[in-house]
Amino acid sequence: MTGLTLSHISKQYKDSDRPAVRDISLDVGCDEFLVLLGPSGCGKTTLLRIISGLVRPSEGQVYIDGQDVTALEPQQRGIGMVFQNYALYPHMSIRKNLTFALEVAHMKRKERTQAVEKVSGILDIGRHLGKKPHMLSGGERQRVAMGRAMAGECKLYLFDEPLSNLDDGLRTRLRPEILSLFHRLHVPFVYVTHDQVDAMTMATRVAVMKNGTIEQLGTPQQIYDQPASLFVASFVGSPKINLIPAAVQVRQGRAVLDCGAFQLDLPQYQAALLPRDGQQVIAGIRPEDLLVSRTGRDLQPIRCVLDRYENLGGRLLLVGDFHGHALRVMAPLSVRAKVGESLELFLDKSKVHLFDAESQARL
Ligand code: ADP
Ligand code: MG
């Protein structure tokens, strides 16, 4: 296939007691924007640097456009890279920053000029070409860093948290710019971030990483609607998913969940629960699946006591106390609820996620 293929990649750093990346295999097609998403230390940068050639894997192969590049140097791989710290050369003009690597690669002057025209048009940095990096804002500098990566003809682009050092407004503005670059270039993008908003807004597929492995690989929608594990369910989604422990009870051929204060009968999970009489599971309930008023769906009433609320702009986040568990609920601003008073909620039962308490895998 064309694009990027990783085959059984592992990395053990010499001075580390556990592998940073463990047996990762992955295909990224030419029209794919793959986001590697996970908490700090899970191995995202290591994996990206292995793809770039800056780090050698302990095991496994990297293929770009079907060619085994595992033994090649970074500059022989035809990739463009953008890092968190947009390391521009401070003493060079923006134009020189854009063309320097092209000169080193012996690109002809005319072609270099065309390449600069192309990327400065796309990224809207044409008026800065004569300036030095210190004269530009953080966002402009990050655009130049992207432009530098885009100026060559690359088979693959790698990004390592390029927006992490920027303020919220800039991140929101740059995300669509990165996406429009992706749509023009028709080569794979691999983008590392710990920010779920980056992942959910830009990715065609997301690989959620934990402890050096891929916990789940899927579209943003799949990751959100069908989280494969407790970890994925808790990492993706803001405000965070509610997790409520429950015991499976099978009576007369019917399985119900004993959640302490109420019993939950979930038709969609009958087959998974019947062989688990007495076992512990964890029910995951997203804050938007707890409703403050009854609508026509399959609802389970739940009572809690309102602890506090936060105005999130267009909506309210209510935090209730449910028998010692904090329960987060998204509600419209029009809701009138008083702290300390009882609050009746309606759980959309079709949206409950169940996980095995021991293995933490989705049932
Ligand atoms: P992430 O980018 O997801 O934060 P990294 O790939 O940077 O994760 O790190 C993964 C693990 O490998 C961490 O435990 C980190 O401490 C370790 N690590 C990263 N780089 C090195 C290195 N050069 N030498 C030893 N250990 C490293
Ligand atoms: Mg990193």
What pLDDT score does 172 carry? 86
Ligand 1 center to residue 48 CA distance, Å?
A: 11
- Over residues 238-282, the pLDDT tens digits come to 999 999 999 999 999 999 999 887 889 999 999 999 999 999 999
Ligand 2 center to residue 41 CA distance, Å?
A: 7
Residue 66 CA to residue 70 CA, distance in Å, equals 12
For ligand 1, atom 17, the nearest C-alpha belongs to: 20
For ligand 1, atom 15, the nearest C-alpha belongs to: 41
Ligand 1 first shell, C-beta below 6 A: 13, 15-16, 20, 38, 40-46
pLDDT of 101 over the 80 cut: no
239 upstream amide cis, omega within 30 of 0:
yes
DSSP one-letter code for 265:
-
Threshold 0.85, pTM exceeds: yes
What pLDDT score does 43 carry? 98
What is the amino acid identity at position 283? A
What pLDDT score does 1 carry? 53
The residues near 326 (Cβ < 8 Å, ≥ 6 apart) are 242, 307, 319, 320
